[in-house]
């Protein structure tokens, strides 16, 4: 009970962190040096596919939690595994995108777009990776540990964190990948 | 929702230390009371360091054209002094008091996440050490505590100092956020049965709201520091001089943190004052609801005023006018609080203990600081006085006159509870008078220096009429403050050598912490009285005149 | 209050010579009156309570005093009074702010002032004259000054002229300045900008329009040619030792740098380094050992022998 509340408050605080980064991105983007050329190096379609993986992982996480409450632990393990696989796909996608950008000479030190892009997606990626770690630990505890000691609140906390990671990506994807095509 | 145990018990056994006493036990402890004391000790040590830096600066400024400190050293000192005092003295003092007393005041035996509590402390302490390590690593930061860009970029601040600054503050921030998370969850989930939110002591209210401020204000700082580090270490261009908007971006981000930060530093102080004044006036706090409500107003407004640190940056009349209005508005809830505290004195029966003396000094000096702050909300006046010694005067009046004096009031009030001994009233008064006289001597005259045109952050100044004299007066005051602090340290030393003579309730107070023994047992409470009003102990001691029987008292929702 | 006392003394730092400075002063006086009123009323009441309601041993001990929890009427009226005070001052302040800061759109600046670590560059747009550290203004004329920075954030603050304004590397700021009285007004950089922020003083010289025009015309002229053998030698050393890479001297083809102050008419300035008297001795010391006079300054320490040094100083002293 207190764990879920804790995670909700923590996640709210972290969201402000990402909000500050996104606002900085937008602020710097108002000035010419941001360079429209850099933004064009992004492939919204490909990243969109990887994003779908991440969004789906939220669904699988939700299913995992629901089954946990119903005590279908085998289903929980399956759904958790699915979440981990989808989340890892996303990270893999991000990594391949970074490599593409590097090949195009878009780096953190090239211009403000590069700085802001890698910072925001980098921190997001870190949070996703941390989440994947937590998911693996959760899966491990459920498979090998004492399930009775692993409370519902803890499972819900993991779910809250994973939805947060997903939610942040909605904003990041919209601001960095979608909006430049609209404005 | 069943979140009420009859007596809040841990859900599982906390790991027991191998020993029950000694340094190792303290290092491994997760007991909130011990962690609270460690925060206070940390603050004490860093206060000495930050204070010495200040003394050296004041000696350098005693007369024009002195060569006591080189410009580089002076610039390192003023940066370190500000950073130390804010992040490693005032924050730990307040967080320490909150860590110790918030659980006790709501009848809880521990914080919601004891290990996070310990981690928060150690991370903050490590941050402090890292900041000072910079002296050995090529030079301390010397770009001011708010580290404006592009001066803090690697081409202008080549030494590693600014990078140490960034990492150290990130660590301190993690510690503060961890503490804040703990406070929020503890307040929501661990209140004793019968204690609705409208019955918690004002110290708890202020701490609770303060925690939300920490949770929302520190992330922008973290973002800014991360970006600064990326600029300095990986060649990013967030705040480079060549980046259009870069310098302004840093200021916006920093002050989005910086302004709420000053409220973070004062709200718990307000909480302490709200506890101490009633006890030594023998009268309940005047206007509890207004005090609680105005705190919420301050918290919300504090995010809407940050540009008043940037009025001289040429943002345009519309922007400036909006923030002029919001900055003036935020003075109103604070004013209401002052009326309430003064109102508590009225028709009371006032005991002039050292704690009460510090409350009175707080009232006078914090209000002076607050009024000089309102001067800055008025944009044309700000245009004349910002970045001058008028600001230095203002900020020291609110930080020392406000936070420090309130902290001392809290320490003199709660020392018996924490240690089982009374602090010497004689040395307390010596400490009080030396420090308060010195403080006003040092900083009152700085208002004038600012009006006369002395800018801040200068290692020396021209030999204009009266500049030397006023600066000398200011320096002499600093020596009085140093003496006052030594009296305080002496007081701590002699009092700790006494027997446990305090008893659990030396002040005849009314909040739950005074039931516990002095010092409290590792498991603070085994039994608590029924909580039917804001002053459970008053009800216990005066059953006929109990608050909950008094129709005048509004108790808020039952729970 | 002490400030009122000193205001009464006709004290140089409290000079006000622009409309903006007067506006600020009026606002500040009203503020002081209001603040004093608030302070006296609140603390008058507090002192009264502290004295009248202090604990006295000899009283009949009737336990605790009457427990007063609050008074809605008092609270509400004080809150309303506070809002009213804030409203009045808010209105007055915004009114003054708008008055002091009219739009600068579509106006060309008269002077462009650039802040450097740790000196001031001033360019007069009408004639193209460029000078450093001593900035002249005509009395009675409203000048539009544009500010920017060559490196970090600086701030222009001359108290007698009223407001201050920050100067940025990647954006310009502006201020209208109309000086009413001739005189020499001192100011300072007011945004910490590094090692020698303390020694980035400003010298504003306000002159009658006639004198100002004469001065500006003179500043736009190229430098006087060296008038003595030593000065000619100094010219050669100056050119040969790469001084011209950083400093500009109009008329000297090898001296066209803009990193350091413009030296075309350095001998006509009363100060050097912004805070030291312009004498041959000081010039000597500065060129010989810059770090001793202004530690942290970007001026390199050249190794000149005595003859070279004397020659350079002679040359510079001829640049009136």
**pLDDT reported for residue C59:** 63
DSSP state of A176: I
Whole-angstrom Cα distance, residue B125 to residue B41?
11
Paired tokens of C108: 């060309």
Whole-angstrom Cα distance, residue B482 to residue C255?
54
Asked whether the beta carbons of B404 and B358 are under 8 A apart, the reply is: no
- CB-based contact C86 B332, cutoff 8 Å: yes
Whole-angstrom Cα distance, residue B325 to residue B331?
10
Paired tokens of B257: 């943190």
- CB-based contact C96 B288, cutoff 8 Å: no
**Which residue in chain A is spatially nearest to B183 when comparing CA positions?**
A6
Is the full-model pTM beyond 0.90?
yes
Residues of A with Cβ-Cβ distance to B223 under 8 angstroms: 17, 20-21, 24
Determine the structural domain holding residue A89 and report its residue range: 2-182
CA distances from A138 to A65, A70, A84, B112, B167 (A): 11, 17, 11, 22, 31
* pLDDT tens-digit series, residues B81-97: 999 999 999 999 999 99
pLDDT at C8 over 50: no
Residue from the list C78, C83, C94 with its beta carbon closest to the beta carbon of B324: C94
**Which residue in chain A is spatially nearest to B240 when comparing CA positions?**
A112
Query: Collapsing DSSP states into helix, strand and coil, what is residue C247?
Result: coil
Domain count, chain A: 1
Identify the structural domains of chain C with CATH numbers, from first to last.
2-49+71-100 (no CATH), 111-220 (2.60.40.420), 229-317 (2.60.40.420)
Q: Is the peptide bond before B519 cis (omega within 30 degrees of 0)?
A: yes
According to DSSP, the β-strands at C142-149 and C111-116 are parallel
- Helix ranges, chain C (H): 2-8, 19-52, 72-100, 209-220, 229-240, 280-288, 290-293, 306-317
Top residue of B212, B238, B264 to mutate, by most chain A CBs within 10 Å, is B238
Top residue of C25, C45, C94 to mutate, by most chain B CBs within 10 Å, is C94
Residues of A with Cβ-Cβ distance to B256 under 8 angstroms: 20
Asked whether the beta carbons of B91 and B172 are under 8 A apart, the reply is: yes
* pLDDT tens-digit series, residues C153-166: 999 999 999 999 99
Cα dihedral A17→A19→A25→A29 (10° resolution): -160
Residue from the list C45, C53, C199 with its beta carbon closest to the beta carbon of B349: C53
Q: B197: burial class by Cβ within 10 Å (0-12, 13-18, 19+)?
A: middle
- CB-based contact C192 B144, cutoff 8 Å: yes
**Residue B506: what are its φ and ψ, rounded to 5°?**
-65, -25
**pLDDT reported for residue C10:** 41
- CB-based contact B453 C193, cutoff 8 Å: no
Top residue of C33, C36, C75 to mutate, by most chain B CBs within 10 Å, is C75
- Indicate if ipTM > 0.90: yes
Residues of A with Cβ-Cβ distance to B253 under 8 angstroms: 20, 24
Q: Which residues of chain B have pLDDT under 50?
A: 1-6, 556-559
Buried b / exposed e over C188-210, threshold 16 CB at 10 Å, is bbbbbbbbbbbbbbbbbbbbeee
Is any Cβ of chain A less than 8 angstroms from the Cβ of B1? yes
Query: Collapsing DSSP states into helix, strand and coil, what is residue B383?
Result: helix
In sequence order, the 6+-apart residues with CB closer than 8 A to the CB of C285 are: C292, C293
With bands split at pLDDT 50, 70 and 90, how would you rate the model's confidence at C106? Answer: confident
Residue from the list B312, B345, B447 with its beta carbon closest to the beta carbon of C155: B312
CA distances from B396 to B45, B104, B475, B477 (A): 20, 31, 14, 13
Asked whether the beta carbons of B548 and B537 are under 8 A apart, the reply is: no
* pLDDT tens-digit series, residues B277-296: 999 999 999 999 999 999 99
Residues of A with Cβ-Cβ distance to B210 under 8 angstroms: none
Whole-angstrom Cα distance, residue A164 to residue A54?
11
Top residue of B380, B473, B555 to mutate, by most chain C CBs within 10 Å, is B380
Whole-angstrom Cα distance, residue C91 to residue B434?
42
- CB-based contact C66 B547, cutoff 8 Å: no
DSSP state of B146: T
Paired tokens of B416: 């018996």
Residue from the list A15, A28, A119 with its beta carbon closest to the beta carbon of B230: A119
Residue from the list B349, B380, B388 with its beta carbon closest to the beta carbon of C55: B349
Residue from the list B177, B242, B253 with its beta carbon closest to the beta carbon of A20: B253
Please state the domain extents for chain B.
33-549
Give the neighbours of chain C: at least 3 Cβ pairs within 8 Å: B
Asked whether the beta carbons of A168 and A90 are under 8 A apart, the reply is: no
Q: A32: burial class by Cβ within 10 Å (0-12, 13-18, 19+)?
A: exposed
**pLDDT reported for residue B18:** 53
Residues of A with Cβ-Cβ distance to B112 under 8 angstroms: 2, 6
Residues 3-62 of B with CB under 8 A from A: 3
Specify which residues C187 forms β-bridges with: C202
- Residue B419's CB is within 10 A of a number of other CB atoms, namely 18
**Which residue in chain B is spatially nearest to A5 when comparing CA positions?**
B185
Closest CA to B218 of B263, B265, B170: B170
Q: Which residues of chain A have pLDDT under 50?
A: none
pLDDT at C7 over 70: no
- CB-based contact B331 C86, cutoff 8 Å: yes
Separation of first and last alpha carbons in chain A = 44
Residue from the list C24, C71, C193 with its beta carbon closest to the beta carbon of B384: C24
Residues of A with Cβ-Cβ distance to B244 under 8 angstroms: 31-33
CA distances from C1 to B125, B391, B453, C191 (A): 43, 18, 18, 29
Q: How many helices (H) and strands (E) does chain B have?
A: 18, 0
**pLDDT reported for residue B4:** 45
Residues of B with Cβ-Cβ distance to A21 under 8 angstroms: 223, 227
Whole-angstrom Cα distance, residue C317 to residue C235?
11
Q: Is the dihedral of CA C254, C256, C258, C263 positive or negative?
A: positive
Convert B404-470 into a string of H (helix), E (strand) and C (coil).
HHHHHHHHHHHHHHHHCCCCCHHHHHHHHHHHHHHHHHHHHHHHHHHHCCCECCCCCCCCCCCHHHH
Top residue of A8, A9, A25, A161 to mutate, by most chain B CBs within 10 Å, is A9
According to DSSP, the β-strands at C164-167 and C271-272 are unpaired
Residues of A with Cβ-Cβ distance to B181 under 8 angstroms: 6, 9-10, 13
- CB-based contact B283 C68, cutoff 8 Å: yes
How many beta-carbon contacts under 8 Å exist across A and B? 94
Residues of C with Cβ-Cβ distance to B378 under 8 angstroms: 27, 31, 89, 93
Whole-angstrom Cα distance, residue A169 to residue B2?
35
- CB-based contact B342 C42, cutoff 8 Å: yes
Phi-psi region of A132 (alpha: psi -120 to 50; beta: other; left: phi over 0): alpha
Residues of B with Cβ-Cβ distance to C291 under 8 angstroms: none
Closest CA to C269 of C159, C160, C139, C135: C135
- Residue B59's CB is within 10 A of a number of other CB atoms, namely 15
Residues of A with Cβ-Cβ distance to B231 under 8 angstroms: 115
Q: Angle at CA B534, nearest 5°, toward B531 and B539?
A: 60
- CB-based contact C75 B246, cutoff 8 Å: no
- Helix ranges, B202-245 (H): 202-234
- CB-based contact A112 B238, cutoff 8 Å: yes
Residues of B with Cβ-Cβ distance to C295 under 8 angstroms: 70-72
For domain B33-549, say whether CATH 3.40.190.150 is its number.
Answer: no
C50 versus C7: the higher-pLDDT residue is C50
**pLDDT reported for residue B559:** 35
**Residue C166: what are its φ and ψ, rounded to 5°?**
-75, 155
What's the CATH code of the domain at A145?
Answer: 1.20.120.80
In sequence order, the 6+-apart residues with CB closer than 8 A to the CB of A63 are: A75, A79
**Which residue in chain B is spatially nearest to C37 when comparing CA positions?**
B371
Is any Cβ of chain C less than 8 angstroms from the Cβ of B158? no
Q: How far is B315 from chain C (nearest CA, A)?
A: 9
**pLDDT reported for residue B154:** 92
Q: How far is B168 from chain C (nearest CA, A)?
A: 22
């Amino acid at each position: 009970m207190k764990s879920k509340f804790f995670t909700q408050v923590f996640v709210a605080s972290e969201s402000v962190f990402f909000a500050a980064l996104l606002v900085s991105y937008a602020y710097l983007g108002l000035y010419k040096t941001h360079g429209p050329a850099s933004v064009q190096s992004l492939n919204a379609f490909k990243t969109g596919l990887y994003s779908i993986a991440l969004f789906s992982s939220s669904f699988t996480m939700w299913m995992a939690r629901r089954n946990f409450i119903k005590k279908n632990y085998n289903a929980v393990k399956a759904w958790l595994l699915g979440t981990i696989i989808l989340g890892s796909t996303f990270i893999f996608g991000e990594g391949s995108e970074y490599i593409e950008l590097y090949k195009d000479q878009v780096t953190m030190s090239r211009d403000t777009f590069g700085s802001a892009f890698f910072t925001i997606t980098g921190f997001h990626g870190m949070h996703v990776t941390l989440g994947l770690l937590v998911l693996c630990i959760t899966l491990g505890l459920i498979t090998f540990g004492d399930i009775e000691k692993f409370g519902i609140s803890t499972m819900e906390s993991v779910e809250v964190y994973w939805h947060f990671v997903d939610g942040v990506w909605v904003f990041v994807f919209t601001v960095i990948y979608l909006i430049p095509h609209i404005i | 929702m069943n979140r009420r145990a009859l007596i809040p018990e841990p859900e599982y056994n906390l790991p027991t230390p191998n020993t029950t006493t000694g340094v190792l036990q303290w290092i491994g402890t997760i007991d909130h009371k011990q962690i609270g004391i460690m925060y206070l000790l940390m603050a004490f040590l860093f206060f000495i360091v930050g204070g010495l830096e200040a003394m050296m600066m004041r000696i350098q400024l005693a007369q024009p054209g002195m060569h006591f400190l080189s410009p580089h050293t002076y610039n390192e000192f003023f940066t370190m002094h500000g950073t130390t005092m804010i992040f490693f003295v005032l924050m730990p003092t307040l967080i320490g008091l909150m860590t110790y007393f918030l659980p006790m005041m709501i009848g809880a035996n521990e914080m919601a996440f004891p290990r996070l509590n310990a981690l928060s402390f150690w991370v903050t302490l490590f941050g402090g050490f890292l900041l000072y390590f910079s002296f050995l690593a090529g030079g301390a930061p010397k770009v001011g505590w708010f580290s404006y860009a592009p001066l803090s970029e690697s081409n202008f601040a080549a030494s590693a100092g600014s990078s140490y600054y960034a990492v150290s503050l990130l660590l301190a921030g993690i510690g503060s956020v961890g503490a804040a998370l703990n406070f929020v969850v503890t307040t929501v989930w661990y209140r004793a049965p019968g204690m609705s939110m409208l019955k918690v002591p004002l110290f708890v209210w202020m701490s609770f709201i303060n925690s939300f401020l920490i949770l929302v204000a520190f992330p922008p700082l973290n973002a800014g520091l991360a970006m600064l580090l990326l600029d300095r270490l990986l060649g990013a261009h967030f705040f480079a001089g060549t980046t259009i908007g870069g310098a302004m971006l840093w200021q916006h981000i920093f002050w989005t943190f910086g302004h709420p930060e000053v409220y973070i530093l004062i709200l718990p102080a307000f909480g302490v004052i709200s506890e101490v004044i009633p006890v030594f006036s023998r009268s309940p706090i005047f206007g509890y609801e207004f005090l609680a409500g105005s705190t919420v107003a301050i918290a919300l407004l504090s995010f809407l005023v940050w540009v008043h640190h940037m009025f001289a940056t040429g943002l345009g009349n519309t922007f400036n006018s909006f923030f002029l209005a919001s900055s003036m508005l935020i003075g109103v809830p604070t004013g209401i609080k002052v009326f309430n505290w003064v109102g508590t004195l009225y028709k009371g029966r006032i005991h002039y203990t050292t704690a009460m003396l510090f409350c009175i000094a707080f009232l006078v000096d914090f209000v002076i600081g607050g009024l000089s702050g309102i001067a800055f909300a008025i944009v044309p006046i700000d245009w004349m006085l910002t970045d001058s010694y008028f600001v230095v005067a203002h900020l020291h009046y609110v930080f020392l006159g406000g936070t420090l004096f309130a902290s001392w009031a809290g320490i003199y009030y709660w020392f018996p509870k924490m240690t089982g001994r009374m602090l010497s009233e004689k040395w307390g008064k010596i400490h009080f008078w030396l420090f308060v006289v010195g403080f006003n001597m040092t900083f009152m005259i700085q208002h004038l220096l600012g009006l006369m045109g002395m800018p801040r952050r200068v290692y020396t100044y021209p030999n204009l009429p009266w500049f030397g004299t006023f600066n000398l007066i200011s320096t002499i005051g600093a020596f009085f403050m140093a003496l006052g602090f030594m009296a305080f340290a002496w007081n701590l030393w002699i009092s700790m050598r006494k027997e446990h003579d305090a008893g659990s309730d030396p002040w005849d107070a009314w909040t739950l912490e005074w039931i516990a023994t002095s010092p409290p047992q590792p498991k603070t409470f085994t039994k608590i009285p029924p909580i039917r009003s804001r002053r459970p102990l008053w009800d216990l001691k005066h059953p006929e005149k109990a608050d909950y029987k008094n129709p005048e008292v509004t108790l808020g929702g039952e729970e | 209050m002490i400030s009122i006392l000193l205001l009464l003394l006709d004290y140089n730092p409290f000079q006000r010579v622009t409309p903006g400075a007067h506006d600020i002063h009026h606002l500040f006086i009203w503020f002081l009156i209001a603040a004093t009123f608030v302070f006296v009323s609140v603390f008058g009441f507090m002192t009264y309570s502290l004295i009248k309601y202090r604990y006295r041993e000899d009283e009949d001990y009737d336990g605790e005093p009457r427990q007063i929890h609050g008074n809605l009427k008092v609270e509400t009226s004080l809150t309303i009074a506070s809002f009213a005070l804030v409203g009045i001052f808010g209105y007055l302040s915004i009114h003054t702010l708008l008055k002091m800061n009219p739009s600068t759109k579509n106006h060309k600046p008269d002077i462009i002032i650039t802040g450097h670590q740790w000196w001031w560059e001033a360019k007069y747009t009408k004639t193209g004259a460029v000078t450093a550290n001593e900035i002249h203004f005509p009395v009675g004329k409203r000048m539009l000054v544009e500010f920017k920075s060559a490196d970090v954030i600086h701030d222009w603050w001359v108290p007698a002229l009223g407001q201050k304004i920050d100067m940025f590397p990647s954006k310009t700021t502006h201020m209208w300045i109309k000086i009413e009285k001739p005189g020499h007004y001192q100011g300072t950089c007011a945004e910490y900008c590094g090692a020698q922020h303390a020694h980035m003083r400003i010298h504003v010289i306000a002159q009658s329009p006639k004198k100002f025009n004469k001065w500006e015309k003179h500043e736009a002229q190229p430098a006087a040619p060296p008038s003595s053998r030593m000065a000619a030698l100094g010219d050669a050393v100056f050119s040969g030792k790469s001084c011209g890479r950083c400093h500009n001297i109009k008329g000297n083809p090898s001296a066209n740098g803009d990193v350091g102050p413009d030296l075309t008419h350095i001998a006509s300035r009363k100060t050097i380094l912004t805070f030291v008297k312009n004498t041959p001795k000081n010039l000597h010391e500065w060129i010989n050992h810059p770090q001793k006079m202004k530690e942290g300054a970007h001026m390199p320490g050249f190794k000149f022998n005595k003859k070279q040094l004397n020659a350079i100083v002679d040359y510079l002293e001829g640049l009136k």
